[in-house]
Amino acid sequence: MTQHLADALPTSTGTQPGWWREAVIYQVYPRSFADSNGDGMGDLEGIRSRLPYLKELGVDAVWLSPFYASPQADAGYDVADYRAIDPMFGTLHDADAVIREAHALDLRIIVDLVPNHCSDQHEWFKQALREGPGTPLRERFHFRPGRGAGGEEPPNDWESIFGGPAWTRVPDGEWYLHLFAPEQPDFNWEHPAVQDEFRSILRFWLDLGADGFRIDVAHGLVKAPGLPDLGRDEQLKLLGNQVLPFFDQDGVHEIYRSWRLVLDEYAGDRIGVAEAWTPSADRTAMYLRPDELHQAFNFHYLNTDWDAEALRGAIDDSLDSMRPVGAPTTWVLSNHDVVRHRTRFGSLERARAAALLMLALPGSAYVYQGEELGLPEVTDLPDEVRQDPSFFKANGQDGLRDGCRVPIPWSGEEAPYGFGTGGSWLPQPAEWAGLSVAAQTGDPASTLELYRAALRIRRAHPALGAGDGVEWLPAPEGVLAFRRGDFVCTANTTDVPVRLPAPGTALLSSTDLAEPDLLPADSTVWWQG
Ligand code: NOJ
């Protein structure tokens, strides 16, 4: 009945200019999406072949995590050549085919840009090492002499996010800065050649048809002058309320203003999305001023527990912060760096309810591959198969990141469940046979069909998608209720059913709604009312 009502709503509003204000953007992690050549590693041709699945799912755009030439010290976030595809993922021709076919399906493609650091195998870094201390090519990175009598101590006390000092010494005695792994030297963004090079890289991908960029470590490019010591025990934090000399420095905004000029040279609403871990939602909003980027990930929301009060606070705070700059709020529950939200929240019921709550909020939403299948984190990977260089130490990101990167199941009873014809680079659990796309398709109780229905309603319902506020309705403790025009969303975050007069006719429910005025435990319901 629920789906019947949804089908009666007007059909697609289409993707208009400003598409990104309400887009649902699906994150593909190329290693783990679909493998076309049986080598156990996902690739671009695999992605191309599955675009119709994404179209049918009902998303508007696809963000592809890095597929560039890379030694894979950090799963591709260590880029050796920003204009080349790693052979493990295919060729430039394959990338072109993905973009073209996506466009033919009216899907947009966002590519991942990694400007804070490159790979130690990048030509510039190799040249800098060859040319030696004091040479101009070293100035494109942060090379410094060490401290102490023989220069044996790192130039300052910063630590890498992956653990250990943020500096590595090279044989000639100098040290270079890397906020992440030693194989990921940080660029010196004061250097004009670095600035020019990245504007050129933007153009390269825009010319190829990319609809935008997800900007890795967007808050890290500019470091405080003189690279001052932190001078305290507390070290790197991706998220915190402290001001750090390597994150969220005001100078980054000049870079994004210059990038916006490049994006605006191109037709078709090309966008920049900041991965910016900042001390507050207000600081994040600064990246989204009208002459800077378009969206930023909402990590404050991602780090919020399944708790009505906390969620309402995060929702209000996010909407309030974006309003003054006129940017859409974004929402995200999972990505390739964090424990999957089904496992974080503790149950599939909560994961489904959280998804419906997120998709009802005003703005744009991100869906991480496999969450539409209700995949849990894989928590028992043997140490020998793990590939994550280390782990984030910050809030909500404790733990190794391979458990959310296991290749997703498409079909069949045995691993690799249609992921490819060979194996899979990380082993998939036996229970995933029942979670595959094929197993869930057509089953109205499945999580996949819940996402499909939600995205269909979201696309069709005039009250959903873009917007900058919600009207909160009175609700019992532990329950969230808000109105957007003639649409109402209720979310019961408690583990017991809660009585609440039905605010209208149910459109969709994350758990079976036996009685319209009894909200099931850990559920979200969408209402026409
Ligand atoms: C954020 C990316 O999402 C993560 O996977 C990566 O390790 C770091 N940035 C460094 O590039």
Q: How far is the CA of 117 from the centre of ligand 1 (A)?
A: 10
- Closest-CA residue, ligand 1 atom 3, reads 337
Average pLDDT rounded to a whole number, residues 184-210: 98
Q: Is 180 in the pocket of ligand 1 (CB under 6 A)?
A: yes
Q: Is 216 in the pocket of ligand 1 (CB under 6 A)?
A: yes
Residues that are catalytic: 216, 265
Burial of 184 (0-12, 13-18, 19+ CB in 10 A): buried
Q: Is 60 close to ligand 1, i.e. is its CB under 6 Å away?
A: no
- State yes or no: pLDDT of 11 exceeds 70: no
Q: Please provide residue 469's backbone torsions phi and psi, each rounded to the nearest 5 degrees.
A: -165, 165
Q: What is the CATH number of domain 19-118+192-458?
A: 3.20.20.80
Ligand 1 atom closest to 217 (CA): 9
Confidence class of residue 367 from pLDDT cuts 50, 70 and 90? Answer: very high
Rounded Cα gap, residues 177 and 179, in angstroms? 7
User: Of ligand 1's atoms, which has the minimum distance to the CA of residue 401?
Assistant: 5
Q: Grade residue 231 by pLDDT with cuts at 50, 70 and 90.
A: confident
State percent of the chain over pLDDT 70.
93
Distance between CA atoms of residues 69 and 432, nearest Å: 31
Nearest CA to ligand 1 atom 6: 77
Pocket test for ligand 1, best of 214, 337, 369, 400 (most atoms within 8 A of CB): 337
Q: Cα 408 to the chain's mean position, in Å?
A: 17
The per-residue pLDDT for 234 is 58
Token pair of 432 as six digits = 């995933």
Q: Do 123-177 and 19-118+192-458 fall under one CATH topology?
A: no
pLDDT, tens digit, 9 for 90 and up, residues 255-313: 999 999 999 999 999 999 999 998 889 999 999 999 999 999 999 999 999 999 999 99
pLDDT tens, position by position, 299-318: 999 999 999 999 999 999 99
Q: Report the nearest-CA residue for atom 11 of ligand 1.
A: 77
Report the pLDDT value the prediction gives residue 387, as an integer from 0 to 100: 86
User: What pTM was estimated for this model as a whole?
Assistant: 0.95
Q: What is the pLDDT of residues 406-463, one digit of tens each?
A: 999 999 999 999 999 999 999 999 999 999 999 999 999 999 999 999 999 999 999 9
Mutate to test the pocket of ligand 1, among 78, 180, 302, 368 (most ligand atoms within 8 A of CB): 180
What pLDDT score does 162 carry?
A: 86
Domain ranges of the chain: 19-118+192-458, 123-177
How far does residue 439's CA lie from ligand 1's centre (Å)?
32
Q: Is 217 in the pocket of ligand 1 (CB under 6 A)?
A: yes
DSSP sequence for 76-115: T-S-SEEEEE-TTT--HHHHHHHHHHHHHTT-EEEEEE--
> What is the DSSP annotation of 415-430?
TTTTS-SS--SSPPPG
Cα 308 to Cα 457: distance, rounded to the nearest angstrom: 24
Confidence at residue 10, expressed as pLDDT on a 0 to 100 scale: 37
Q: How far, in Å, is the centroid of ligand 1 from the Cα of 337?
A: 7
pLDDT at residue number 170: 98
Give the Å distance between the CA of 446 and the centre of ligand 1: 32
Q: Ligand 1: distance of its center to the CA of 471 in Å?
A: 36
| Opening angle at CA 85, ends 83 and 87, nearest 5 | 150
Q: Would you call 442 exposed, middle or buried from its count of C-beta atoms within 10 A (0-12, 13-18, 19+)?
A: exposed
Task: Determine which residue's CA is closest to atom 5 belonging to ligand 1.
Answer: 337
CA of 77 to the centre of ligand 1 (A): 6
Q: Is the CB of 388 under 6 A from ligand 1?
A: no
End-to-end Cα separation, the chain, in angstroms: 16
**Position in ligand 1 atom list of the atom nearest CA 116:** 11
187: helix, coil or strand?
Answer: strand
**Bridging pattern class, strands 487-492 and 471-472:** unpaired
CATH homologous superfamily for the domain 123-177: Oligo-1,6-glucosidase; Domain 2 (3.90.400.10)
Q: Which amino acid is at 208?
A: L
